[in-house]
């Protein structure tokens, strides 16, 4: 095995693309729309080695899912996202299980947890 690509359900693909690309720093890799309408849409976004798929097709995933994204430095990413006015559900926090984590949510309540080493490491 090489990788897993989570599929997050989104209700509006244009808004999802704006959030993931404009706010979180991903770039659009592809978008499939069977008609000229904005939705339904199945798209892939990528940042560094992380790929996420976002779908507004009925039956593709469930809104409110969670994805853990491993990062080198949660605090550096936090500063970047703060400059882009991304609302934080939880700012960088050292967890008792040994991770430093920061959570954001998209408009469909999908949680993206950015996970790194503790600040003291």
Whether pLDDT at 121 is above 60? no
Tell me, yes or no, whether 2 lies in a domain.
no
Structural domain count of the chain: 1
Helix, strand, or coil (residue 77): helix
Closest listed residue to residue 19, CA positions, set 115, 104, 114: 104
- Residue 95: which domain range? 7-116
What pLDDT was estimated at residue 18?
Answer: 98
Q: If you average pLDDT over residues 93-110, what whole number do you get?
A: 96
CATH number for the domain harbouring residue 66: 3.10.180.10
């Amino acid at each position: 095995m090489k990788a897993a690509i989570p599929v997050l359900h989104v209700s509006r693909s244009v808004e999802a693309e704006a959030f993931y690309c404009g706010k979180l720093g991903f770039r659009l890799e592809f978008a499939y729309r069977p008609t000229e309408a904005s939705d339904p849409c199945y798209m892939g976004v990528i940042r560094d080695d992380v790929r996420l798929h976002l779908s507004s097709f009925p039956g593709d995933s469930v809104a409110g899912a969670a994805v853990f994204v491993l990062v080198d430095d949660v605090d550096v990413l936090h500063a970047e996202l703060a400059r882009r006015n991304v609302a934080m559900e939880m700012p960088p926090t050292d967890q008792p299980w040994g991770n430093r984590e920061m959570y954001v949510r998209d408009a469909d309540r999908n949680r993206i947890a950015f996970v790194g080493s503790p600040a003291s490491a």
